[in-house]
Amino acid sequence: MKTLLLLISLSAALAAQTTLTLSGPATARPGQSIDLVLSLAAPGPRPAGLQWTLELPAGATAAAQAGAAAVAAEKTLYCSEQATLCLLVALNQTTMAPGEVGKYTVTVPSTAAKGLYQIPLSGLMAASAQAVVQSIASGPVYEIRVLARSDLNGDGVTNMADLQLILDQVFGRSPCSDDQNGDGRCDLLDVLLVVRGALDQ
């Protein structure tokens, strides 16, 4: 019985834990920029300051800005040059309400291989206005699936549908948004790269 009560108490404590969670799109293509949101869930005491580290995949870059909940609390976001280590603080004692505390624009490297990539949060710290450490944890690790560059419609495979999309761009029926070789135009070379992507999978 004591074990059951302990497990119930532990479950309740974990459910009430203040957390930071990163979320965003499920897929991206090499070279694409994606917008991510950093959310605070604070069922317990609200923090007046936060610190975290965003662990980016090799070659990825990020830019950060304060989210709505941080702005409402008049907090300023300070980040390292690569926007990986960040602090939210201000010359006030206002605490932050649950919600969006940060926003990231992450650029996937143009050389990224097809596959699943994780962007975990680490080094989390929360504190009250009196500089007392508060308990905080990371939510589920954010994962993004990087698609093949030749997968133009994002369905996970390169096939005739993608070939038709690049042909439409070559012939001007749609804007040239899938320049495969980065030379600034859609032409035969891009068509052949999509064909190669279909044959290589």
Domain boundaries, the chain: 11-146, 160-200
Per the model's pLDDT, the better-predicted residue between 10 and 52 turns out to be: 52
**Residues 6 or more apart whose Cβ sits within 8 Å of residue 68:** 99, 100
What token pair was written down for 197? 């992507």
**What pLDDT, on the 0 to 100 scale, is given for residue 16?**
67
Query: Residue 10: how many CA atoms within 13 Å on its side-chain side?
Result: 6
Provide mean pLDDT across the span 86-112.
95
Query: Residue 189: how many CA atoms within 13 Å on its side-chain side?
Result: 8
What token pair was written down for 2? 């004591």
Q: Specify whether domain 11-146 bears CATH 1.20.140.10.
A: no
Per the model's pLDDT, the better-predicted residue between 8 and 75 turns out to be: 75
**What pLDDT, on the 0 to 100 scale, is given for residue 10?**
40
Of 13-17, 84-88, 107-111, 160-164, the poorest mean pLDDT is in: 13-17
Provide mean pLDDT across the span 27-39.
94
pLDDT tens track for 139-149: 999 999 999 99
What token pair was written down for 184? 């600034």
CA distance 55 to 81: 14
CB-CB contact of 100 with 50 (8 Å): no
Question: Whole-model pTM?
Answer: 0.80
Provide mean pLDDT across the span 70-96.
95
> What is the pLDDT of the chain when averaged over all its residues?
90
